[in-house]
């Protein structure tokens, strides 16, 4: 294990994590303010404008009825696909390098899911009737249509949202308890409630272990199913270039791919700005790097496969779809995507690259840009080239759409910034597990213990 | 020394209490509006009493609402229809004078709709009347009312229940009422 | 429970009341707003709310005279359909006809008489009353009449038929003026002339497409706007699929594929203006191949010897084999029919071309029989030959300039828009002291008027119509008001009758209004009818005609013994026509055509027509220039590039549309856009090709030869997005429109 | 009054050993409170089994049934034939079933956890905050002073760096949980 | 038709498992379009606009590709000058028996009714627009904003048809209001069925070439059945197996001569 980790003591962990919660510098507030402001200006205002005017505010038109909103929806769902899934897999497989990073990864899952849901709202023509898509008894005696892929989405995403929030919460209970003891005032009350009076007895640990593992087992297939189902929104249509069996795995891989890249980004930021250098180390970047490399290769393979099957079919519609994708109006975007998601990641072969932080950050962002492009192309190049050439059209996103896209990122950041001040963004007890046991360490004086002295509850 | 969530709950109680009262308030307000200002019996430009006409003088509904059997709408009587009788009957009453003044300067009487359906609902009176549905089934005992009051909810579910109960042909096809 | 602190209690109260307030407002906000039930003070007859009423009437959106039935609800017309019992439309109707409701409900209609305040053309008007308006003009008319200067009154009307035309006639007659003209840009003047010369017929024959088995059309867009498009569509459809085992064949000859050309089995782009030559070429073949067996065969052979296939092929650009093939099948597939018109009739030798075409019909024996030319009996009420040619309009302009015209009454025609700038008509109008317009809209001509007496739309007024060309037997139809007038307007007829009373022309025009006039007119028709048998009373007759919307007589006319001498050929000049400017500089021939939706521009203020994708290009809302792909390549322009179209007489610019079916030496532009006035939907939209037309005329008729202008194209370098609905225009082997080869019978 | 004695240890192994010794000495309720899950707590305090997996299993089954019933049931409540398919087609409804299975599984697991871990703690429970940092505490709860003192002395003897007295009531156990 | 409660569980189950649910359609409304008659004059397009309250969207909307034409004419060029030919094909909702658009709607705003029609219920639509994505014929049109009729143009609006609000999908209904009207009249004079030719959608009514025929294909005597049996009959994109109720008759081409 790396030196900086070896030098850690149990108490340091508590102190560092608690500090990350209670000690808030101006830098944080400024960032939060920016994020909030951006959300307001770039997300909420344009959206209200659109609600008032109608989807006319967006650039969609007759053949191209879906646009960036759908693309963003898949993108965010995709981004959500590493955190919890990865965390579960690694938990089941007892890989200890997960422990320092999984909490924030899961948070990413949670918030990108929330953003994805808001994108659905933005996409709808009459979002004020969205409750009709949920099964509740109503005077109209009408029910949603469970035969619709969109309803699969509703159920899947609802489940996934519940699952991942439960998962992240359950993993945090012992940490809430630890923080509870180290905080005062409203925070103390908050964490008292959140920790449900956790003490850390042998029984509690035992139960938690069980529950946690069971959840992990449940969530892995769930996560896989969710993005397959999202892909069916497209694949179960008969639109050329969308009506493909490869789509489910394609989407899942893509999702995990962009999600993992997202984790790298988040890790970098946490490490840099929450001063977790000693917890998030080269080791993590190295492993994530390897994972990314593998994923990028699979992703590339599936892309090639898609082109091949399309070409092999020889059908006018499929060929046209390919032609349009590779050489049509949006071709530059396509090649940009290939560059970002297929070629650039090959750098990950070198360990030096994997273990150097800034380059990894750059790459991870590049990959997600590429992945967004992919989602945009799925929507943008297929619908405009369907069966009847006479009805072909062209779609260019409007300012409102672009601004909402930016705004959604801001919304995500806002949520995440709030998260790091409420949840211990690094798991205290699991990091401790990776440390040499307390006995082997020089005993710290009580004074140092976690900085804040504990006072009994009134 | 020990640990429990109770103290925290106690600390949060006032806030929680406030929120709860607030929400309860919302419900009360909502209910109050529905209960005291239902708008099911608007004040009409002329205090026309169906009781006097339909019960006391036993005028059949279709005498005035002539279209009900033949058209999608039942039709409200033209001002002339009122005048036809009332230039003989009860001329001195203030309300009748009002009618006469409308008639004098050929103004229509701006009745206020009591049974108003959304614009995307197409309710054909003729189908229902011809099927032998009594006016009262939907309009209530109008002949006993001085000022007409809407008694039926006129909600989709309510329509459907009747359609189901009578196994109306294609009575559940959305296009039967929405076009 | 611990006792509440005072502060906490207040907090709770506060929260509670805020909640109640919020809840109340919420409930209030989602409440359905009150609506009213407004009964009639007095209900109209046989009216019942919620039930549609149909009225039969006559369409006057174009001169075809289709019968229409109008669906009204609560006294408001909703949709116009064809009148099934009317022989012209037979229950069908074109897009323009259906847009009649948009004429009625047009937001830009003139709602009250207007009096000019500012300078002419400044567009400053003040509302006035009918009395004032009528008084003003009546007074002027009376003085002119009394001083025997009645001829200084000029009445310019749209093409009208039936009793309204008769009223106009008498009115002007009484005023002592011969200056009564009907002006329609698209009136097939040359066709009438050709007919007159060849058959001595005043009225056009009925072209029996229905029963024809071989149709040869020289430039006549008979499915678009030529004569009676709806009826022709029915005819063509029947000739193709209406007869089991027989499918009529149809060949279209024109420089630019029109709607008819698109429907044709074969489309031949002969050199513009050589249609006549081609016709005679075919004739030559028919005679020389011995298909024609008439006694005067040799005479024909002799006369036609000047038109051997080789020469004709050389000059028309249609190869000799095709000529031979067409000629043979035209002569052999009986009954066959040759029609000519549209661009072919609008050359400097238009009349000659059309005569040549009819020579074909003669030689193939298509005169009189079913599936050929059926000669119409004269209509029950004959309409006067008053159509103003281009020359007439020039004379008019000259007289105006010379100050010989003191009053001009314009009725729903728009010469300022529909005459080339070269005619300088607008300038001429400036010299006329009093211009009165009866238009329902503020069009270019009305904008120059001193007094506007807005007339009803055809859906609000009484009238009648006797379609021309008829359908082979006498037909008439009464147009009745289907809605009570929306505004303070009056029917054209009533205005004229009103005027005549004020001027004191009493005896000649005794009727109080058009309805009376019609009743009397139709009483005569009825009497004529009842001589041969049926003795129903006039009232029943009248109501039955109103209900049916049409009246017809089962009276067919035997074909006149037409015998065409071979020497007609000497009389005609089918050699290449005269074109405006020197060909080397102005290297393209401009082919203006009536746009499907906007006709000659009258449809430009109808939103539906503006939004109707042009059938051949799918362009909406605007003008464009059609170029052959090759031409476009040479000029280095592509779709959307704006080019200057320059004639010797003007210059307009419009975006290019690459059109696969047009001769490389021809550029086509749709007529109809480019209005300066005429309401929100028409104004400042596209360009008007009529403006740059050269003042070339067909000498004998003085008709404007509007296919005779040469232009040059100058790319401006500007580029616009052409607004159209089409995506890609090829099928890419997707088998969407499937075809099947006809089993050659 | 104090009902349990808590000894704090630096070394987890020693803490466990002590716990074992106390158990051997016949103390009924012994808990080891630690900042991290401890391997080998079972050996000294006896094997633990949990009902959570049963919750999960039956929850999932219930979810499956509920899922299909929801889809099929609502479909027949108002018949809307679509796309030439049956009112109750299996492929799509199986997806709903699948998702609902997992959803209910998850929820049941949570409930199972809360019940079997006896959370949230309503009554006050013996606890030492250091045990959330780097101390390993052994908590013994007794009913009488004498027992408490014995426990305390034993703890000290075992080398606890500190022994505290805490107020907490004897905790209850689920049936079939050792 | 038996009432729900009169049927046994087993019988019901069999019904619910029957593909397409309906054992037999009440009417099977069908339209045939003879491409050899069609001249592309677009009278049908205007008729549809007039009958169904289609909005006047304006030039900008057209430029953005947001026009609304339940009935549109598609045009395809073949060959090059001088042999260039233009082919027209009217395109409208095909009322497929296996309609891809129906299954995807999350709120069943579109479904198949007992007359074999593909219904679109505006007031139920929440505007996911997925039906338009799934429709291979591109005949579903979305209301990107509320539409406005300059008064008094609004007086032309057909009171029998809902004016659609923003965020709602719409499409050809085979003029359901006319079909209902006809059924109503049939009921009024005590007839069980609507006579052939009694219902004509606006486009059919208008077509000057009588290229469009509409009727009930269940009735072997109807005009539409007759023209369906024409050897020229085919369905557009039938390889997709959507089983349209709109049947086209092939355009006839001839050899030179």
pLDDT in tens, C668-713: 999 999 999 999 999 999 999 999 999 999 999 999 999 999 999 9
With touching defined as 3+ CB pairs under 8 A, do chains E and D touch? yes
Tell me: pLDDT of C130 over 90: yes
- Contact: C19, B32; criterion CB under 8 Å: no
User: Helices A149-182 and A102-123 sit at what angle, rounded to 10 degrees?
Assistant: 140
Strand bridging mode C53-58 / C67-73:
antiparallel
Residue E42: count other Cβ atoms within 10 Å of its Cβ. Answer: 26
Which of A123, A145, A231 to mutate against chain E (most E CBs within 10 Å)? A145
pLDDT value of residue A54: 95
Confidence of residue D174 (pLDDT cuts 50, 70, 90): very low
The band of C3, judged by pLDDT with boundaries at 50, 70 and 90, is low
User: Do the Cβ atoms of D70 and D93 come closer than 8 Å?
Assistant: no
- Measured over the CA atoms of residue C494, residue C500, residue C501 and residue C506, the dihedral's sign is negative
Question: What pLDDT score was predicted for residue B44?
Answer: 92
Please, what is the end-to-end C-alpha distance for chain E in angstroms?
Answer: 59
Q: Do A141 and B160 touch (CB under 8 A)?
A: yes
**CB distance E184–B118 less than 8 Å?**
no
Query: In this predicted structure, what is the pLDDT of residue D171?
Result: 44
Q: Do B2 and D120 touch (CB under 8 A)?
A: no
The pLDDT tens digits of the residues spanning C66-109 come to: 999 999 998 899 999 999 999 999 999 999 999 999 999 999 99
Quickly name the fold that domain D3-49+123-170 has.
Answer: Alpha-Beta Plaits (3.30.70)
Contact E19, E236 (CB under 8 A): no
| Best residue in A126, A128, A135 for a mutation probing chain E (most E CBs within 10 Å) | A126
Q: What count of Cα atoms within 13 Å lies in the side-chain half-sphere of residue A164?
A: 32
Distance CA C427, CA C418 (A): 14
State the pLDDT confidence band at C146, using cuts at 50, 70 and 90: very high
Give the start-to-end residue ranges of the domains of chain A: 3-126+145-453
Arithmetic mean of pLDDT, A111-140: 95
Instruction: Check CB contact under 8 Å for E104 and A237.
Output: yes
pLDDT category of residue A350 using cuts at 50, 70 and 90: very high
Q: Are D5 and D155 in contact (CB under 8 A)?
A: yes
Q: What is the largest CA-CA distance in chain B?
A: 96
- What's the CA gap between A370 and D23, in Å, rounded? 61
- Answer with the residue of higher pLDDT: C580 or B59: B59
Q: Which chains sit next to E, with 3 or more Cβ pairs under 8 A? A: A, B, C, D
d(CA A83, CA A163): 12
pLDDT at position C389 over 60: yes
Q: Which of C578, C552, C698, C52 is nearest to C273 (CA)?
A: C578
Beta strands in E12-150 (DSSP E): 29-34, 72-78, 85-91, 110-112, 118-120, 141-142
The token pair that represents C468 in the structure block: 């021309």
Considering only CA atoms, which of D96, D73, A124, A144 is closest in space to residue E109?
A: A144
Element (H, E) at C704: strand C703-704
Min distance E90 CA to chain A CA atoms (Å): 11
CB E31 within 8 A of CB E245: yes
Residue A150 in contact with partner chain D when CB distance is under 8 A: no
E39 Cα to chain D: minimum distance (Å): 33
- What is the mean predicted confidence (pLDDT) over A288-292? 95
Residue (of C654, C480, C483, C624) closest to C551 by Cα position: C480
D61-80 residues touching A, CB cutoff 8 A: 67, 70-71, 74-75, 77-78, 80
- Predicted pLDDT of residue C532: 59
Q: Which H or E run contains C304?
A: helix C297-304
Characterise A54 by phi-psi region: left (phi > 0), alpha (psi -120 to 50), beta (else).
Answer: left
What pLDDT, in 10s, does the model give residues C483-535? 999 999 999 999 999 999 999 887 889 999 999 999 999 999 988 876 655 66
Q: Would you tell me which CATH number, out of the four given (1.20.1630.10, 3.30.70.20, 1.10.8.60, 2.60.40.2580), belongs to the domain A3-126+145-453? A: 1.20.1630.10
Name the residue facing D164 among B1, B3, B172 (closest C-beta): B1
User: Is the Cβ of A196 closer than 8 Å to some Cβ of chain D?
Assistant: yes
Q: Can you tell me the distance from the alpha carbon of C707 to that of C278, in angstroms, rounded to the nearest whole number?
A: 17
Q: Across chain C, which distance is largest between two alpha carbons, in Å? A: 129
Query: Is the Cα torsion angle C314, C317, C321, C326 positive or negative in sign?
Result: negative
Q: What is the average per-residue pLDDT within C378-403?
A: 92
Phi, psi angle pair for B63, to nearest 5°: -65, -40
Residue E5: what pLDDT?
A: 62
Pairwise CB contact (< 8 Å): A215 & D106: yes
Give the separation between CA E172 and CA E159, rounded to whole angstroms.
Answer: 17
For the record, the structure tokens of A23 come out as: 């000690």
Q: Give residues 37 to 56 of D whose Cβ lies within 8 Å of A.
A: 37-38, 41, 45, 48, 50, 52-53, 56
CB atoms within 10 A of CB C608: 23
Report d(CA C291, CA D159) in Å as an integer. Answer: 132
Comparing A20-24, A392-396, C164-168, the range with the smallest average pLDDT is A20-24
pLDDT of residue A443: 45
Q: What average pLDDT does the structure give for chain C?
A: 92
For residue B109, give the DSSP letter: P
Instruction: Give pLDDT, residue A2.
Output: 55
Which residue from C minimizes the CA distance to A392? C727
Quote the crossing angle between the two packed helices A149-182 and D90-116, to the nearest 10°.
10
Within 8 A of C39 by CB-CB distance, chain B residues are 75-79, 108-109, 111
Q: How far apart are CA C519 and CA C513, in angstroms?
A: 10
pLDDT at A440: 54
C613·E42 Cβ contact <8 A: yes
Report the residue from B118, B119, B124 with minimal CB separation from E184.
B124
CA dihedral C49, C50, C54, C55 (to 10 degrees): 30
Q: Rounded to whole angstroms, what are the CA distances from E233 to A449, C744, E32, E200, E220? A: 87, 20, 8, 20, 16
Residue E93 vs residue C471, higher pLDDT: E93
Residue of E nearest to C595 (CA): E41
Give the model's confidence band at E257: pLDDT under 50 very low, under 70 low, under 90 confident, else very high: low
The model's pLDDT over B126-167, given as tens digits with 9 standing for 90+, comes to 999 999 999 999 999 999 999 999 999 899 999 999 999 999
B1 — contact with chain D (CB < 8 Å)? Answer: yes
Per-residue pLDDT at C348 exceeds 80: yes
Does residue C286 surpass a pLDDT of 60? yes
Question: Which of E128, E141, E166 lies closest to A62 in CB terms?
Answer: E141
Please, is C242 exposed, middle or buried when counting C-beta atoms within 10 Å of its C-beta (0-12, 13-18, 19+)?
middle
For the record, the structure tokens of A236 come out as 């179960």
- The CA distance from E217 to A93, in Å, is 64
> Where are the alpha helices (H) located in chain D, listed in sequence order?
12-24, 41-45, 52-77, 90-116, 145-158
| Among A448-452, B84-88, C329-333, the least confident range | A448-452
Please say whether the beta carbons of A300 and A341 come within 8 A. Answer: yes
Angle (CA) C227 C229 C232, round 5°: 100
Residue C728: which residues within 8 A CB-CB, separation 6 or more? A389, A390, A392
Is the sign of the CA dihedral A433, A438, A442, A443 positive or negative?
positive
Q: Which residues of E touch D78 (CB under 8 A)?
A: 108
Q: Which residue, E98, E87, E83, E51, is CA-closest to E70?
A: E51
Domain boundaries, chain D: 3-49+123-170, 52-116
Question: Which residues in chain A have Cβ-Cβ distances shorter than 8 Å to E124?
Answer: 132, 142
Q: State how far the Cα of A10 lies from the Cα of D136, in Å rounded to an integer.
A: 12
- Interface subset of A 428-457, CB within 8 angstroms of D: 428-429, 432-433, 437-439, 441, 443-444, 446, 449-450, 454
Distances (CA, A) of C373 to B8, C382, C558: 103, 20, 12
Q: Which two tokens stand for residue C239?
A: 């000739």
The backbone torsions φ and ψ at residue D162, rounded to the nearest 5 degrees and listed phi first, read -165, 145
Nearest Cα to Cα of residue C438 among C494, C391, C368, C392: C494
Give, in degrees to the nearest 5, the angle at Cα B101 between B98 and B106: 130
Q: Which ipTM value was assigned to this complex?
A: 0.93
Per-residue tokens: D86 = 């049956």
* Residue B174: burial class (beta carbons within 10 Å; 0-12, 13-18, 19+): buried
Q: Tell me how crowded residue A8 is: count the other CB atoms within 10 A of its CB.
A: 19
Please name which of C472, C61, C226, C90 lies closest in space to residue E208, comparing C-alpha atoms. Answer: C90
**Taking 90 as the threshold, does the pLDDT of residue A437 lie above it?**
no
Confidence tier at C744 by pLDDT (50, 70, 90): low
- Cis peptide bond prior to A78, omega within 30° of 0: no
């Amino acid at each position: 294990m790396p030196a900086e980790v070896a030098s850690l003591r149990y108490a340091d962990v508590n102190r560092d994590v608690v500090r990350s919660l209670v000690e808030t510098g101006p830098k944080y507030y400024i960032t939060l303010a920016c994020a909030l402001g951006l959300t307001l200006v770039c997300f909420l205002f344009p959206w209200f404008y659109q609600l008032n005017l109608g989807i006319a505010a967006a650039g969609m038109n007759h053949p191209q009825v879906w646009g960036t909103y759908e693309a963003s929806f898949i993108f965010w769902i995709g981004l959500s696909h590493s955190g919890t899934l990865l965390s579960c897999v690694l938990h089941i497989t007892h890989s200890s390098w997960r422990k320092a990073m999984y909490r924030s990864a899961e948070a990413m899952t949670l918030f990108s899911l929330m953003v994805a849901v808001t994108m659905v709202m933005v996409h709808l023509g009459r979002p004020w009737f969205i409750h009709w898509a949920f099964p509740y008894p109503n005077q109209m005696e009408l029910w949603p249509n469970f035969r619709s892929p969109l309803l699969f989405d509703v159920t899947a995403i609802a489940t996934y949202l519940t699952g991942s929030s439960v998962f992240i919460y359950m993993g945090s209970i012992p940490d809430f308890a630890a923080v509870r003891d180290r905080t005062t005032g409203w925070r103390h009350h908050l964490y008292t409630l959140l920790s449900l009076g956790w003490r850390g007895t042998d029984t509690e640990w035992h139960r938690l272990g069980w529950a946690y593992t069971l959840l992990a087992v449940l969530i892995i297939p769930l996560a896989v199913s969710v993005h397959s189902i999202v892909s069916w929104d497209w694949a179960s249509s008969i639109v050329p270039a969308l009506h493909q069996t490869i789509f489910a795995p394609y989407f899942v891989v893509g999702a995990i791919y962009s999600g993992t890249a997202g984790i790298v980004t988040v890790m970098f930021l946490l490490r840099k700005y929450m001063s977790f250098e000693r917890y998030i180390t080269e080791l993590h970047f190295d492993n994530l790097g390897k994972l990314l490399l593998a994923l990028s290769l699979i992703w590339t393979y599936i892309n090639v496969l898609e082109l091949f099957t399309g070409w092999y079919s020889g059908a006018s519609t499929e060929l046209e779809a390919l032609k349009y994708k590779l050489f049509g109006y949006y071709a530059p975007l396509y090649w940009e995507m290939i560059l970002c998601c297929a070629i650039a990641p090959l750098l990950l072969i070198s360990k030096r690259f994997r273990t150097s932080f800034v380059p990894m950050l750059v790459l991870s962002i590049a990959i997600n840009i590429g992945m967004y492009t992919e989602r945009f192309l799925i929507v943008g190049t297929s619908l405009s080239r369907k069966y009847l050439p006479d009805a072909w059209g062209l779609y260019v996103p409007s300012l409102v759409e672009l601004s909402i896209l930016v705004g959604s990122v801001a919304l995500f950041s806002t949520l995440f910034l709030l998260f790091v001040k409420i949840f211990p963004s690094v798991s205290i007890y699991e990091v401790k597990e990776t440390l040499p046991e307390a006995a082997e360490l020089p005993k710290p004086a009580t004074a140092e213990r976690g900085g804040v002295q504990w006072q009994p509850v009134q | 020394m020990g640990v429990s969530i109770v103290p925290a709950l106690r600390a949060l109680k006032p806030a929680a209490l406030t929120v709860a009262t607030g929400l309860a308030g919302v419900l009360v307000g909502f209910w109050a509006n529905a209960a005291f200002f239902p708008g099911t019996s608007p004040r009409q430009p002329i205090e026309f009493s169906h009781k006097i006409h339909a019960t006391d003088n036993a005028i059949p509904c279709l005498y005035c609402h002539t279209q009900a059997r033949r058209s999608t709408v039942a039709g409200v009587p033209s001002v002339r229809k009122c005048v036809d009788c009332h230039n003989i009957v009860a001329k001195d009453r203030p309300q009748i004078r009002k009618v006469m003044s409308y008639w004098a300067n050929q103004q229509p009487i701006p009745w206020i709709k009591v049974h108003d359906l959304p614009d995307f609902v197409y309710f054909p009176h003729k189908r229902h009347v011809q099927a032998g549905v009594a006016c009262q089934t939907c309009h209530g005992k109008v002949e006993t009312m001085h000022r007409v009051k809407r008694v039926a909810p006129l909600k989709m579910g309510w329509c459907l229940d009747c359609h189901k109960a009578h196994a109306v042909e294609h009575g559940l096809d959305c296009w039967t009422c929405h076009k | 429970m611990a006792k509440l602190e005072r502060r906490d209690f207040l907090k709770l109260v506060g929260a509670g009341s805020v909640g109640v307030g919020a809840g109340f407002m919420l409930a209030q906000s989602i409440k359905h707003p009150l609506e009213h039930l407004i009964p009639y003070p007095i209900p109209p007859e046989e009216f019942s709310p919620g039930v549609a009423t149909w009225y039969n009437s006559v369409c006057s959106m174009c001169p075809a005279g289709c019968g229409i039935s109008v669906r009204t609800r609560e006294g408001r017309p909703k949709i116009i359909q064809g009148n099934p019992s009317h022989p012209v439309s037979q229950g069908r109707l074109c897009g323009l006809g259906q847009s009649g409701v948009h004429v009625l409900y047009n937001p830009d209609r003139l709602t009250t008489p207007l009096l000019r305040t500012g300078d002419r053309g400044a567009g400053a008007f003040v509302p006035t009353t009918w009395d004032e308006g009528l008084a003003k003009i009546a007074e002027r008319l009376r003085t002119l009449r009394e001083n025997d200067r009645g001829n200084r009154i000029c009445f310019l009307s749209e093409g009208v038929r039936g009793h309204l035309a008769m009223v106009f006639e008498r009115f002007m007659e009484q005023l002592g003026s011969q200056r009564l003209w009907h002006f329609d840009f698209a009136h097939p003047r040359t066709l009438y002339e050709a007919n007159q010369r060849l058959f001595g017929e005043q009225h056009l024959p009925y072209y029996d497409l229905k029963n024809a088995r071989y149709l040869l059309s020289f430039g006549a867009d008979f499915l678009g706007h030529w004569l009676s498009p709806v009826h022709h569509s029915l005819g063509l459809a029947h000739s193709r699929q209406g007869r089991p085992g027989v499918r009529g064949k149809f060949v279209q000859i024109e420089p630019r594929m029109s709607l008819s050309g698109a429907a044709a089995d074969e489309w031949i782009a002969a050199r513009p203006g050589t249609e006549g030559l081609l016709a005679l070429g075919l004739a030559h073949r028919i005679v020389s191949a011995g298909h024609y067996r008439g006694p005067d065969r040799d005479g024909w052979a002799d006369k036609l010897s000047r038109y051997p296939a080789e020469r004709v092929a050389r000059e028309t650009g249609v190869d000799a084999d095709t000529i031979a093939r067409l000629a043979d099948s035209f002569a052999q597939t009986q009954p066959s029919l040759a029609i000519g018109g549209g661009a072919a009739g609008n050359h400097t030798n238009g009349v000659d071309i059309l005569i040549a075409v009819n020579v074909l019909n003669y030689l193939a024996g298509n005169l009189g029989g079913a599936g050929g030319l059926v000669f119409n009996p004269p209509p029950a009420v004959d309409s006067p030959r008053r159509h103003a040619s281009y020359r007439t309009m020039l004379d008019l302009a000259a007289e105006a300039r010379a100050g010989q015209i003191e009053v001009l009454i314009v009725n729903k025609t728009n010469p300022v828009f529909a005459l080339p700038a070269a005619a300088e008509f607008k300038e001429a109008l400036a010299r006329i002291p009093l211009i009165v317009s009866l238009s329902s809209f503020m069009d270019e001509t009305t904008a120059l008027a001193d007094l506007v007496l807005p007339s009803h739309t055809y859906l609000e007024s009484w009238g009648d119509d006797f379609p021309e060309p008829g359908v082979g037997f006498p037909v008439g139809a009464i147009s009745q008001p289907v809605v009570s007038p929306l505004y303070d307007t009056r029917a054209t007829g009533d205005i004229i009758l009103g005027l005549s009373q004020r001027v004191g022309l009493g005896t000649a025009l005794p009727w109080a209004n058009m309805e009376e006039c019609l009743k009397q007119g139709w009483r005569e028709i009825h009497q004529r009818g009842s001589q041969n048998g049926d003795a129903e009373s006039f009232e029943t007759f009248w109501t039955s005609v109103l209900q049916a919307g049409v009246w017809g007589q089962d009276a067919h006319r035997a074909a006149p013994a037409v015998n065409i001498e071979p020497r007609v050929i000497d009389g005609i000049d089918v050699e290449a026509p005269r074109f405006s400017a020197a060909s080397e500089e102005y290297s393209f021939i401009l082919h203006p055509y009536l746009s499907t939706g906007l006709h000659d521009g009258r449809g430009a203020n109808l939103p539906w027509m503006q939004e109707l994708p042009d059938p051949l290009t799918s362009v909406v809302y605007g003008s464009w220039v059609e170029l052959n792909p090759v031409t476009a390549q040479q000029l280095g322009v592509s779709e959307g590039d704006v080019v200057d179209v320059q004639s010797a007489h003007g210059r307009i610019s419009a975006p290019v549309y690459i059109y696969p079916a047009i001769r490389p030496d021809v550029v086509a532009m749709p007529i109809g856009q480019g209005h300066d006035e005429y309401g929100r939907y028409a104004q400042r939209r596209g360009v008007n090709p009529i403006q740059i037309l050269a003042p070339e005329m067909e000498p004998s008729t003085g008709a404007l030869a509007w296919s005779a202008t040469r232009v040059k194209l100058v790319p401006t370098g500007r580029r616009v997005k052409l607004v159209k609905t089409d995506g890609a225009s090829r099928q890419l082997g997707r088998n969407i429109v499937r075809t099947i080869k006809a089993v050659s019978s | 009054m104090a009902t349990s004695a808590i000894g704090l240890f630096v070394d987890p192994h020693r803490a466990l050993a002590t716990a074992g010794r106390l158990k051997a000495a016949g103390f009924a309720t012994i808990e080891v409170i630690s900042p991290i899950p401890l391997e080998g707590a079972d050996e000294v305090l006896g094997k633990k089994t949990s009902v959570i997996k049963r919750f999960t299993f039956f929850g999932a089954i219930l979810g499956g049934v509920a899922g299909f019933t929801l889809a099929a049931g609502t479909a027949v409540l108002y018949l809307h034939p679509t796309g030439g398919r049956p009112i109750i087609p299996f492929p799509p409804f199986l997806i709903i079933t699948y998702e609902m299975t997992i959803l209910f599984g998850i929820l049941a697991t949570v409930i199972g956890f809360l019940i079997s871990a006896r959370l949230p703690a309503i009554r006050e429970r013996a606890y030492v905050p250091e045990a959330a940092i780097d101390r390993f505490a052994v908590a013994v709860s007794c009913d009488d002073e004498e027992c408490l003192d014995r426990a305390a002395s034993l703890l000290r003897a075992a080398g606890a760096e500190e022994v505290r007295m805490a107020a907490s009531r004897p905790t209850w156990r689920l049936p079939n949980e050792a | 038709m038996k009432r729900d409660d009169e049927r046994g569980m087993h019988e019901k189950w069999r019904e619910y498992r029957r593909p397409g649910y309906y054992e037999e359609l009440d009417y099977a409304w069908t339209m045939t379009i003879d491409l050899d008659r069609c001249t592309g004059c677009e009278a049908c397009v205007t008729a549809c606009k007039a009958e169904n309250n289609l909005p006047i969207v304006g030039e900008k909307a057209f430029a953005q590709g947001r026009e609304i034409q339940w009935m549109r004419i598609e045009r395809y060029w073949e060959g090059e000058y001088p042999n260039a030919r233009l082919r027209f094909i009217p395109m409208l909702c095909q009322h497929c028996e296996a309609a891809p658009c129906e299954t995807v709607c999350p709120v069943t705003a579109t479904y198949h009714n007992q007359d074999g029609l593909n219904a679109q219920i505006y007031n139920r639509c929440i505007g996911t627009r997925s039906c338009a994505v799934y429709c291979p014929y591109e005949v579903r049109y979305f209301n990107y904003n509320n539409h406005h009729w300059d008064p008094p143009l609004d007086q032309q609006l057909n009171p029998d048809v809902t004016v659609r609000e923003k965020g709602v999908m719409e499409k050809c209904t085979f003029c359901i209001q006319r079909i209902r009207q006809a059924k109503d009249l049939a009921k009024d004079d005590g007839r069980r069925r609507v006579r052939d030719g009694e219902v004509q959608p606006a486009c059919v009514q208008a077509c000057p070439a009588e290229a469009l025929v509409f009727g009930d294909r269940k009735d072997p005597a109807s005009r539409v059945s007759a023209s369906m049996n024409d050897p020229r009959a085919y369905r557009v994109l039938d390889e997709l197996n959507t089983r349209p109720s709109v049947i086209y008759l092939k355009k006839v081409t001839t050899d030179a001569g």
